[in-house]
Chain A
Amino acid sequence: METVSLQNNGSSSPAGLRLAALRFTAGFQVIARNRLALIGLVIILVGLFAAVFAPFLVTHDPFEINISERLQGPSRPHWLGTDFMGRDTYTRMIFGARTAFLVAIGAVMLGALLGIPIGMFAGYFGGWVDMSLMRVMDSILAFPGRLLAIALVASLGGGLFSLYLAIGVSSIPSFARIVRGAVLTQKEKEYVEAARMTGETDSLIMFRHILPNCLPPLLVRLSLDFANAILTESSLSFLGLGFPPPTPSWGLMLKEVSPFLELQPWAAFFPGLTISFMILGFNLFGDGLRDVFDPRQYDR
């Protein structure tokens, strides 16, 4: 043991690695014990898998039009039927996952990247910094999130970038508020004082010391915001404000087949179900995370 440690002085001694592995399994067990969270996690992972490996999972070309096979129900060649132009619904749903995750990840990242520092500065420095930053956040919050997104997209035009901006901007305040709240409690803790005593700068203290301790509420928010972003993207596309028509997007698929609901209910059924399931997955996982991070849970 002695000799091994003398040779290996990096941050990962064998004992350290073993400890890390132990902690990881312990953490996973806590999540796994929460059934609903586990279901949520599975749904998310399935969605993510579909998004990443879309081209390998599909049976058709998502843009292939076949008018003679339009508005079919589920069948062997078309597992989930076809839409009003005869495109394969299953294929488009899988590619739709790609669209949904692309928008959600980008938008949530934008929201988090702007919202977290804003909340951090507001909470850490307090006083007029807090006042002015949070009033700006309040004024964004004053608009209903989806309405703001619609207004932004309407003025910026459709496409990926404006969707990022529209959905991202409306999620900035929620991140800012969550982080600010967490920072307000964390900055009074003595470890912050101890860090200051060690001679660390404000920025190091904020982002290296305080931020990791704000993660629990932040991760919950992140998960719920993913659901929100997917839903907003679907709504916008449904309203015709999101992606332009040939793009495989769940909201757009719903919209395109909605006039034919009486002719072929299946065509709208599956995209609608997918959206619901995805949202459910993120919400269940978010709620599960909240339970896991609640220390009172450990007694059970």
Chain B
Amino acid sequence: MDSGTSLIRGNTIVNMNSNTPLLDVRNLTVEFQLKQGILRAVNNVSFSLREGETLGIVGETGSGKSVTAFSILSLIPSPPGRIANGEIIFDGSDLLKKSDKKMQKIRGSQISMIFQEPMTSLNPSFTIGNQISECYRIHMGDSRKVARERSEEVLSSVRVPSPKTLIDRYPYELSGGMRQRVMIAMALACQPRVLIADEPTTALDVTIQAQILELLKELQEKFKMALIFISHNLGVVASLCNRIGVMYAGSLVELTDKKNLFTNPLHPYTQGLMQAIPRPEYRDKPLTAVPGTICNLLDPPSGCKFHPRCYKAKEICKTESPELETKSASGSVACYFPGGQK
């Protein structure tokens, strides 16, 4: 039996008009009110995603990747978090203006997410089947029995061995890779149109990582979902995504296609990242690191946040902060002096 075809249900067959974006994030700014002051975790981030497209977001720890993802699902803990500005247009309407009730309907059924830690993302008190069924019972109103059948189907689509026995297992009885597959099955359960994968492979072994990436790629094609893939691993992102956004200190500094990013990075930060990738052909030379450390977001530097670490910072960089501007057909960058290698 081909479980794939039977999984595609009426409500997910959508018009493939590729001109209007499915998800459009505009000028998103997220702030956290802390005791020490206001922390701007995401600053004026804009990007869009079409049906079936894959967007990678890379950046250091604390650069705002996850916060961006959580904002899309309106899962920012508030207080202390607050979406200070911006719009998140999904399928023609602004998610930020939706009520909690409406968002609950969208989460899991239209937009879904895979988390970083498969070890803790499953509820230890319930069986796998129970947790996947939840989604069907909430969003589709399925009975226990139907939900269980569907859970089995979706489990077999993430290629776990013997889904029929796995369904009665508790999370502690599974390995990390298995749990991540279960998490993916959970996220895919209701055929979301957008899947956000927040560093789904970070906690896994390299071999399992490769399998999971392969699986994600395959499932994305099969279910025609749009995928936002968040990672700090450039190699992983490159293997999966066509378009890649680079985040630094809460801002999107460069958004371009894969080829451009690796052959002709425009932003000095991206250039630095590329030079920091170990390459076999330069094995005798020391790796070039980006000097300095990521800035303190509670007290960010004035102007362009990267200027204290930038090798070509000029006066203007210290006072003015550059906007993300389109520089070529496929890429845009937020820098006054883009391009050109060191």
Which residues of A are in contact with B by a Cβ distance under 8 Å?
A: 1, 5, 9-11, 13, 15-16, 19-20, 23, 127, 189-191, 193-201, 209, 212-213, 215
Contacts and interface: CB of A to CB of B under 8 A. Distances in A.
12 contacts: A11-B129, A11-B144, A11-B145, A20-B168, A127-B79, A189-B120, A198-B107, A198-B138, A199-B106, A209-B126, A212-B123, A213-B124
Interface residues of B, number: 40
Given A198-B107, A200-B134, A191 B168 contact: no
Contacts of B138: 198-200
Interface stretch (B35-43, B108-116, B303-311, B316-324): B108-116
Contacts of A127: 79
B139 interface: yes
Interface string B166-186: 011110000000000001001
Contacts of B129: 11
Contacts of B113: 197
A199 B107 contact: yes
Contacts of A212: 123, 125-126
Contacts of B108: 197-200
A9 B145 contact: yes
Contacts of B183: 194
A209 B122 CA distance: 10
Interface in B61-95: 73, 75, 79
B159 interface: no
Contacts of A190: 115-117, 120-121
A19 B129 CA distance: 14
B3 interface: no
A244 B73 CA distance: 61
Contacts of B126: 209, 212
Given A194-B123, A199-B105, 7 more contacts: A11-B144, A191-B122, A191-B124, A194-B122, A194-B186, A197-B108, A198-B135
B73 A9 contact: no
B221 interface: no
B328 interface: no
B33 interface: no
B203 to A, nearest CB: 11
B148 interface: yes
A68 B223 CA distance: 89
Contacts, number: 88
Closest 3 CB pairs between A and B?
A212-B125, A199-B108, A16-B168
B75 A213 contact: no
A196 to B, nearest CB: 6
A77 B149 CA distance: 64
Given A199-B104, A199-B138, A212-B126, A194 B121 contact: yes
B125 A9 contact: no
B165 interface: yes
Contacts of B125: 209, 212-213, 215
A110 B103 CA distance: 36
Given A13-B168, A191-B121, A196-B75, A201 B107 contact: no
A195 B123 contact: yes
Contacts of B79: 127
B104 A10 contact: no
B170 to A, nearest CB: 8
Nearest to B134: A198
Contacts of B105: 199
A5 B145 CA distance: 12
A13 B164 CA distance: 9
A127 B80 CA distance: 11
B164 A15 contact: yes
Contacts of A193: 75, 115, 121
Contacts of A199: 103-109, 135, 138-139
A160 B266 CA distance: 79
Contacts of A191: 120-124
Nearest to A195: B123
Nearest to A15: B165
A201 B104 contact: yes
Nearest to B147: A11
